[in-house]
Every structure is written in structure tokens, then in C-alpha cells.
Amino acid sequence: MTQTKLAEAVGTTGAVISLLESGDRGLSHKWLAKLAPVLGTRTGHLLEVDPNDVSSDILEIWADIPEDRREQARDVLKAFRVKASNEN
């Protein structure tokens, strides 16, 4: 998603989104609450995960999953997490 599209979705400007992305403007609870639903995530996840640590192909795959199928996709991924922790 471009900064412009994200800005339109949350009712701000691309310049503000740029400031938020760069860290020049803090991510307040207000901003987290506006951004998370548009990005298809939860507010805490925006703070917990560094996008540089996530493979871009995973994000692209997730973006291609229809909204009504994402719960199913999460369940499949959780099953892998549970299996991995049981193997250790």
C-alpha cells in the first residue's frame, strides 16, 4: 500500500504517514487505532514487529488472502507454531 493510499484511508496526508514511518512523529494510541484496521492487523502488532524482520513474500501472500479467509489462514499458521513448539 502506498503512503498516499494509506493516508486517504485514515484521513490524513502522505506527509504525515511519511513522518510516522520514519519515526519523526510518534505512533500515539490514536494513530495506532486508525492504522491497524486499515493495515489488517492489531495495534500491538504494529509495535511488536519490525517490518525489516518479516519476509516481504509473507506480507504479499497475506495481502492476497481475501478478508473472509484470513481467520482460516491464521489458524493454519497457528498450527505450525504449536507443532514447532512441541518439537522443541
Q: What percent of the chain has pLDDT above 90? A: 40
Same domain, 7 and 39: yes
- The CATH number of the domain holding residue 35 is 1.10.260.40
Same domain, 46 and 15: yes
Cβ-contact 14, 1 below 8 angstroms: no
**Mean pLDDT of the residues in the chain:** 85
- Report the C-alpha gap between 18 and 7 in whole angstroms: 9
How many distinct structural domains can be found in the chain? 2
Same domain, 46 and 24: yes
Grid cell 487505532 is found at 33
Q: Which residues span the domain enclosing 68?
A: 55-88
Same domain, 7 and 41: yes
CB burial string 1-11: b at 16+ within 10 A, e below? eebeebbeebe
- Report the C-alpha gap between 50 and 79 in whole angstroms: 23
Q: How confident is the model at residue 88 (pLDDT cuts 50, 70, 90)?
A: low
Same domain, 17 and 59: no
pLDDT in tens, 30-65: 999 999 999 988 888 888 767 677 777 887 888 889
The pTM score is: 0.56
